[in-house]
Amino acid sequence: MNLNNKAILVTGADGFIGSHLVETLVHQGVRVKALSQYNSFNHWGWLEDIDCKNSVEILCGDIRDAHYVKKVTKNVDVIFHLAALIAIPYSYVAPDSYIDTNIKGTLNICQSALENDVSKVMITSTSEVYGSAHYVPIDEKHPLQPQSPYSATKIGADAVADSFYRSFGLPVCIVRPFNTYGPRQSLRAVIPTIIAQIASGKKEIKLGDLTPTRDFNYVKDTVKGFLELSQCYEAIGEVVNIGANYEISIGDTLNLIKKLMNSDIKFITDKQRIRPEKSEVQRLWCDNSKIRRLTGFEPQYTLEKGLLETIDWFKNPENLKKYKTDIYNV
C-alpha cells in the first residue's frame, strides 16, 4: 500500500515516537490527522515542536472514549496506533489506568477501524512483552512474559488486535519496537536521563541497575520501520520486531555517552530507579530478520551516530529547559 493520497490517523501523535512519525509523514506529502490527548490548556505535546504542525490536522481527544474514537476514524485509510501509557514505574502505582488506556484503548481502535472499514491498522507493541530473554536474539516466536503491569497490558492489547484479525479479518500489523531513543524522549528512559543530567551540569549521575542489556534504536530508524511495514501487504496479520540486532549494557551505554560528551561525571545508584527483582528485564536483543525479509529494512543509524544527534538536541538550552533534571520521572 502506497501512503500517498491516503488519509492517515496517528494516535499518540503528541508523544515521542508519534511526533517523529507525524513529522516524517508530512514531509513525505501525506495527509495526517494527529490525535493528541485532550487537556484544558490546548497543548499538543511534542507536536508543538515539529516544523510542520501547520500542515497537520490536530485533534484533541482520548482513545478511552469509544464514541470519540469511532468518530475520528471515519474516512481514514491507515491508522498508526501509538497512544498508550508506557512508563513502567508508574504502572506499579496505577495499573488500572494502564488497563483502560492500553487494552481498552486498543479495543476501541480495532472496533472502530472494523466498523469504518479502515484499510490498515498498525498496532504499536513493545519488546517489554518478551521479558528477560530465554534465548537471543529474540525473534517473534519468543515466549511472552508480563514482568510489569505495563508489559501485561501491552500483551493484552496485542492479543485484542490479533483476535480482530483472526475473528473479523481486520488488517492489522503488530509492530514491536525494541528500545527507541532520540530527541523529545521522556527522562523516564535511560539514554535521555544520562544525557540530560550531564548537559545540565550535574557532578553525579543517578541511575538504577547498569547490568541489563538493551537493543537501542534511533527514533528515525523506528519510524522507518513503521512506514515500511505499513506499506507491506505481507505484514498483515503478523507480529514484527523493529530493532538493530545489537546488544549493549546500560553501563557500557553510560560510558559511551560520557565519552561522546567529554564528561567525567560519577555514577551513583538511586534505589527508587531500580525495578523489583522479578520485574527487571535483564536482556533484550532483537532478531530483526523478519522485518528485513518482509521489507528490506536496514537501520540507518549506528548507536554512536544516533547518540550524537540526541546529545546535540538535548544540549540546546531551549530543549533542555523543558525537562526537570532534578526530578525522577516515574
Whether 212 and 282 have beta carbons less than 8 Å apart is answered as yes
Give residue 4's pLDDT.
86
Give residue 2's pLDDT.
87
Give residue 242's pLDDT.
98
pTM, 2 dp: 0.96
pLDDT tens per residue across span 295-308? 999 999 999 999 99
CB contact set of 322 (below 8 Å; sequence gap of 6+): none
- Give the C-alpha separation, 205 to 295, whole Å: 40
Give residue 182's pLDDT.
98
Please tell me whether residue 267 adopts helix, strand or coil conformation.
strand
Domain boundaries, the chain: 7-180+217-242, 182-214+247-283+302-320
CB contact set of 228 (below 8 Å; sequence gap of 6+): 291, 295, 296, 297
Residues in the chain with pLDDT < 50? none
CATH number of the domain at 7-180+217-242, please?
3.40.50.720
Give residue 274's pLDDT.
77
H helix or E strand, kind and range, residue 202: none
Give residue 32's pLDDT.
97
One-letter amino acid at 224 equals K
**C-alpha torsion sign, points 69, 72, 75, 80:** negative
Select the CATH number that applies to the domain covering 182-214+247-283+302-320 from these four: 1.10.3720.10, 3.90.25.10, 3.90.1300.10, 3.50.50.60: 3.90.25.10
Range 258-266, long-range pairs (CB < 8 A, 24+ positions): 258/198, 260/304, 260/307, 260/308, 260/311, 261/195, 261/198, 261/199, 261/311, 263/198, 265/197, 265/198, 265/202, 265/203, 265/204, 265/205, 266/203, 266/204, 266/205
Whether 52 and 27 have beta carbons less than 8 Å apart is answered as yes
Give residue 275's pLDDT.
77
CB contact set of 123 (below 8 Å; sequence gap of 6+): 81, 106, 109, 157, 158, 161, 172, 173, 174, 175
Asked, colleague to colleague, whether 7-180+217-242 and 182-214+247-283+302-320 share their fold, the answer is no
